[in-house]
Structure 1
Amino acid sequence: MSFENNEDRRPNTKPLHFLLVPLLAQGHMIPMVDLARLLAARGNLVTFATTPINLARIQPIVERAAAAAASTLQIRFIELSFCVADAGLPDGCENIDLLPSMDLLFPFLNSLHLLREPLEAHLQAPDPFQWPRPACLISDNIQNWTIDFARALDIPRLIFQGPSCFFLLCDLLINRHVVELEAAMAAASGGPVILPGLTRPIRISKHELMLTLRSDPGWFKFIETMKELEDTSEGILINSFVELESWYIERYHEEIGKPIWPVGPLSLYNKEEDAKAVRGRVSSIDNKFLLQWMDGKEPGSLASGALHTIRWSRLWRLATG
């Protein structure tokens, strides 16, 4: 496991070519663009692959990266055709938040393999810049087609995880101990119980177990797909940093037995205020109202709900981007 965060650009070494394939969701693509800039800033070559609609949606970020690339960074953004009609999806549904109904979520996730053929065609086409073949593929843990794709290229495949390591560890333990947790919660008359596997006690409630979604066969398949992607990867990149959650990073490393590289917080790579302003969609909640709401709460009351997002689990994290 490496926690090194070296700012050197390795000018005397041969540049590596990283191929980034993010999930088609805003909350995944935006930090992956930041990751692309971070890799390129260290003298590497980066290809960022997505679809036309998604590239248009992050155009302000792409333009900033392209401006930097003109002087120092070497990043290419490529468009992959995504025939959503072949997956039975409405026209234009190239992003999770563009789906008209969450009933289409699993069909959408199961259609992501359609990106493989156009990506292969791009890599096989003559390259006017004569970049070397990719030396490493980085994707989300949803793109299951990248397993065979990376094997065909004979290159390592890394997974990029956007949430905190606290979330990742708790999510892993909840899925591993779900039967035990359900029994303990029944014995406690539905009250909160301690999550096993942590030396620091974390209590979870019935909401965190996501009983309804776990009864869906599609949910089981979804969990198994993510597990396979993680099990067959060479390591994990997380959008966090050691000083924030060193204990959880160590425990997560012990649980998955793979190298972990904390590369975050990637949002801080955008040091200019106007650069941060163009990231993602405009919030539907006024910042002043939000701060006033937080100021009106009892001290410590917001921290007590730190595990609240676990109840949406990975599925709703994907849906909301």
Structure 2
Amino acid sequence: MERMNKPSKLGRRLLLFPAPFHGHLYPMLHLATLLHSKGFSITIIQTPYNPINPTHFPHFIFRSFYNSLLESYSKSPPPDSFAVLSVMNNSCSEPFRDCLSQILHEAEAAAAADKDPIAALIADPMWKFAGSVATSFSLPRLVLRTGSMSTLLLYCSLPSIREKGYLPPQDNRLDELLPDLPPFKVRDLPLEFTHDLLEALVQETKTSQGIICNTFEELEDSSIARVHQFLPIPIFPIGPMYKHSPTSAVSIWEQDQTSIAWLNTQAPKSVLYVSFGSVAAMSKAEFLDLAWGLLESMVPFLWVVRPGLIQGSEANDSMPEGYLEMVGERGYIVKWAPQIEVLSHPAVGGFWTHNGWNSTLESICEGVPMLCQPIFADQDMNARLVSDGWRIGLKMEKALKREDIAREIRKLMLEEEGAQTRSRITTLKEKATLCLQEGGSSNKAIKSLTSYLLSF
């Protein structure tokens, strides 16, 4: 299908195609909100898995395509995210093509009436067929990088890492620094069964017309420059993206606002916020060690215990007998919290996190030092950046017992090492604030992105 001729007016429509995971949906919705504020019309293409409720976003158009297996996963969760990824990339290409064809056909008629011609597709590079489908329609495509640029640099370097003999990792080399990739160590390398997916992600990014990334230059300037050497296409570091839109605008799960009322009763910088995101899960034994470690630390805590946090059981049924009575007023437990409001609350002095990129970036931008407990995917790499690169958090070793956990909590919240991480992250917070102001790096990148999208 040929691209339609563009009317003379500036109005443009953008098609956004997020991967259906909460950590990928959030930044795509923030991007949609930002670009809508710049005058673009927005159409979001989604699947039956983790669908966004269109009534929450009346200013966007939503289009869906059907996939029976993803539909079944939406009712009965799959064993892991990679099962969903496999289905996504093995069976969604043709439904996506049909959906896109229909949207473009309708757009041709709209263009004839001088209504919002389609400028480009912005897709998550986890969709490894989006590039070839867009090319077949002569539709410009950009990708949204929802993780850090430092981890993307590592993914770009995987062939070189393999040639240098670091793969597969050897036990006696796990603590070696990866050459030219500090602060990453051999033990931080992604699991080998994910490498095909990651190399496809790099290829999908490389063949795009640009990378929109949820970071800012002052945080990752070196990694951004080095990624550009691998992928010589325009890069737009416009983060932190959540700062561009109201928090409530992209809330997908119901948030327990009573957590804020409880925080209002706590002393400044005294509370440890504990949350491991929307996907990560742990064993029952790990959960119990975590619970007892929080209790024995004697530090006030706000703990998100969502359904699915414990592998194979409901979290609310897994608390030790009498635990809530022992915790008393010193702790508060919710199923889901308004995370930005929590992190920005004056009572919060630390964040025990799985180090998903969204949580890591939010913690940086709100100036809250981290206790890092990565669980899967890019979280080990993010935790290494936090602990050894920027030195704004403490990395927990795996399989710590309750007394070790209590000690690490006190170290972050009460001791000198924690105070130093708080000082360093306060400096980064100031840089994150400045980058969004007029003349700041992200402010300039947003203007460049807007102009670039209008050029198509």
Whether these two folds match at TM > 0.5 is: yes
* 1:100-249 alignment, distance < 5 Å: 100-101=79-80, 104-105=83-84, 106-113=86-93, 114-125=95-106, 131-174=115-158, 176-182=160-166, 186=170, 189-198=172-181, 201-206=182-187, 208-210=188-190, 213-214=191-192, 216=193, 219-249=194-224
Task: State how far apart, in whole Å, the 1-side matches of 2:70 and 2:249 are.
Answer: 33
Match of 2:446 in 1: none
Q: Tell me which amino acid in the other structure corresponds to 1:121.
A: Q
Task: State how far apart, in whole Å, the 1-side matches of 2:120 and 2:33 are.
Answer: 16
Match of 1:254 in 2: 229
Query: 8 Å contact 2:166–2:186 — kept in the other structure?
Result: no
Task: State how far apart, in whole Å, the 1-side matches of 2:372 and 2:105 are.
Answer: 52
Query: 8 Å contact 2:140–2:209 — kept in the other structure?
Result: yes
Query: 8 Å contact 2:34–2:245 — kept in the other structure?
Result: no
Match of 2:245 in 1: 270
Task: State how far apart, in whole Å, the 1-side matches of 2:17 and 2:48 are.
Answer: 14
- What value does the CA root-mean-square deviation take over the aligned residues? 3.9
Task: State how far apart, in whole Å, the 1-side matches of 2:103 and 2:167 are.
Answer: 51
Structure number with bigger Rg: 2
**Paired residue secondary structure (1:99):** coil
Query: 8 Å contact 2:124–2:143 — kept in the other structure?
Result: yes
Q: Deviations over 1:204-226 (max 9, x none)?
A: 143x234xx42x4xx45423422
**Paired residue secondary structure (1:202):** coil
List runs of 5+ in structure 2 lacking aligned partners: 1-7, 256-274, 277-301, 305-330, 334-347, 353-368, 383-456
Q: Deviations over 1:35-54 (max 9, x none)?
A: 11111111122211113554
Q: Deviations over 1:91-121 (max 9, x none)?
A: 43259x9324557342343222132212322
Q: Tell me which amino acid in the other structure corresponds to 1:120.
A: S
Task: State how far apart, in whole Å, the 2-side matches of 1:183 and 1:48 are.
Answer: 39
Following superposition, the deviation at residue 183 of structure 1 comes to: 6.9
Match of 2:316 in 1: none
Matched positions, count? 271
**Paired residue secondary structure (1:135):** strand
**Paired residue secondary structure (1:228):** helix
Task: State how far apart, in whole Å, the 2-side matches of 1:40 and 1:157 are.
Answer: 18
Task: State how far apart, in whole Å, the 1-side matches of 2:234 and 2:41 are.
Answer: 22
Following superposition, the deviation at residue 158 of structure 1 comes to: 0.6
Q: Deviations over 1:255-282 (max 9, x none)?
A: 222210012211112335x446x34576
Confirm whether residue 286 of structure 1 aligns to residue 303 of structure 2. yes
Following superposition, the deviation at residue 151 of structure 1 comes to: 1.7
Confirm whether residue 21 of structure 1 aligns to residue 2 of structure 2. no
Confirm whether residue 45 of structure 1 aligns to residue 41 of structure 2. yes
Q: Deviations over 1:234-258 (max 9, x none)?
A: 1111011123222222222222222
Following superposition, the deviation at residue 182 of structure 1 comes to: 2.0
Task: State how far apart, in whole Å, the 2-side matches of 1:183 and 1:21 are.
Answer: 33
Following superposition, the deviation at residue 229 of structure 1 comes to: 1.0
| Residues 237 and 204 of structure 1: CA distance in aligned 2, closer, same or farther (over 3 Å) | same
Following superposition, the deviation at residue 63 of structure 1 comes to: 4.0
- How does the TM-score come out when normalised to structure 2? 0.50
Match of 1:82 in 2: 66
Identity %: 23
- How does the TM-score come out when normalised to structure 1? 0.68
Match of 1:99 in 2: 78
Following superposition, the deviation at residue 159 of structure 1 comes to: 0.7
Task: State how far apart, in whole Å, the 1-side matches of 2:376 and 2:199 are.
Answer: 23
Task: State how far apart, in whole Å, the 1-side matches of 2:81 and 2:50 are.
Answer: 19
Query: 8 Å contact 1:139–1:159 — kept in the other structure?
Result: yes
Query: 8 Å contact 1:236–1:261 — kept in the other structure?
Result: yes
Query: 8 Å contact 1:17–1:47 — kept in the other structure?
Result: yes
Task: State how far apart, in whole Å, the 2-side matches of 1:244 and 1:103 are.
Answer: 29
Match of 1:72 in 2: none
List runs of 5+ in structure 1 lacking aligned partners: 1-11, 70-74, 296-300, 315-321
| Residues 243 and 128 of structure 1: CA distance in aligned 2, closer, same or farther (over 3 Å) | same
**Paired residue secondary structure (2:28):** helix
**Paired residue secondary structure (2:143):** strand
Q: Which has the higher contact order (CA 8 A, sep 6+)?
A: 1
Task: State how far apart, in whole Å, the 1-side matches of 2:100 and 2:378 are.
Answer: 34
